[in-house]
Amino acid sequence: MDNTYFLIKHPLIDHKMTILREKDTANNYFRTLVKEITTLMMFQATHQLELQKKGIVTPVEGMVGHTLATDVMVIPILRAGLGMLDAFTDMIPSAGVGHIGLARNEETLQPKAYIVKLPKINSETQVFILDPMLATGGSLNYAIDKVKEKGAKNIIYLGLVGVLEGIQAVHEKHPDVKIFLAALDRGLNQHGFIVPGLGDCGDRLYGKED
Statement: residue 14 has pLDDT above 80: yes
pLDDT > 70: percent of the chain: 95
User: What confidence tens digit (pLDDT) does each residue in 16-63 have?
Assistant: 999 999 999 999 999 999 999 999 999 999 999 999 999 999 999 999
Mean pLDDT of the chain: 91
pTM of structure? 0.91
DSSP 34: H
Burial 73-90 (b: 16+ CB within 10 A, else e): bbbbbbbbbbbbbebbee
Of the two residues 201 and 183, the one the predictor is more confident about is 183
pLDDT above 60 (res 3): no
pLDDT band at 202 (very low <50, low <70, confident <90, very high): confident
Contacts 24+ apart (CB under 8 A), 201-208: 201/34, 201/80, 201/83, 201/132, 201/133, 201/160, 202/79, 202/80, 204/25, 204/27, 204/30, 205/27, 205/30, 205/31, 205/34, 205/79, 205/80, 205/82, 205/83, 206/27, 206/79, 207/27
End-to-end CA distance of the chain: 40
Measured CA to CA in angstroms, residue 177 lies from 8, 67, 154 at distances of 16, 25, 7
Cβ pair 27, 206 in contact under 8 A? yes
User: With 90 as the cut, is the pLDDT of residue 146 above it?
Assistant: yes
pLDDT greater than 70 at residue 87 = yes
At 81 the pLDDT is: 93
Average pLDDT over residues 96-117: 80
Which pLDDT score, from 0 to 100, does residue 109 have? Answer: 61
Question: What interhelical angle do 11-21 and 27-45 show, nearest 10?
Answer: 150
Does residue 64 carry a pLDDT above 50? yes
What would the pLDDT profile of 165-174 be if each residue is shown by its tens digit? 999 999 999 9
